Amino acid sequence: MNLYRSVRTVLSVCMLLACSFAFGVLGQDVTSVRTDSARIKAAVAVLPGQSYSVHEMIAPTGTTIKEFVSPAGEVFAVSWQGPYTPDLRQLMGDYFDQYLRAAQTFRRIARHVVHIETGDLVFESGGHMRFIVGRAYLRSKLPDGVTADAIR
């Protein structure tokens, strides 16, 4: 039985590593979404809108990742939902270190909910084992007329 667990653990780690570079980056342009979808061999469903478009991918782990792209072609928000948290360093890019610093001093709202605001960056995540939801967005990059409620 221990061999089975070891094999399952190794496979899980491999799946996480395989998808760790699978996402568009907060604050960067839409080409990061296209490049990443090709890397993980995942189709991107694009849902166009008037104020922004949503680029949606399903990672090999089963987690759905959405990148919210402004009309100027910039990723202003990312969200995720599924059994695993995606690689936040990859998703948040240059904003990841800012998130880490803030995460060391934040107060938990509820047992499984994290809410961090560091000026422009807003990060929220919650859930339980096998069901994680989260989002990160840049207030200054939200297109006109778009509120944080639209980022899901």
Residue 143 DSSP one-character state: P
pLDDT computed for residue 23 by the predictor: 53
pTM for this entry: 0.79
Q: Is 57 exposed, middle or buried (0-12, 13-18, 19+ CB in 10 A)?
A: buried
Averaged pLDDT in 10-residue chunks for the chain of 152 residues: 36 36 72 71 84 92 92 95 89 92 76 87 92 96 95 94
> How far is residue 34 CA from its own chain's centroid?
15
Residue 152 CA to residue 136 CA, distance in Å, equals 10
> Closest Cα partner for 65 from 21, 119, 12?
21
Q: 95, 103 in Cβ contact below 8 A? A: no
Tokens of 49: 């809108």
Domain count along the chain: 1
Give the domain range for residue 82: 2-150
Contacts 24+ apart (CB under 8 A), 95-98: 95/26, 95/27, 95/121, 95/136, 95/138
pLDDT computed for residue 24 by the predictor: 65
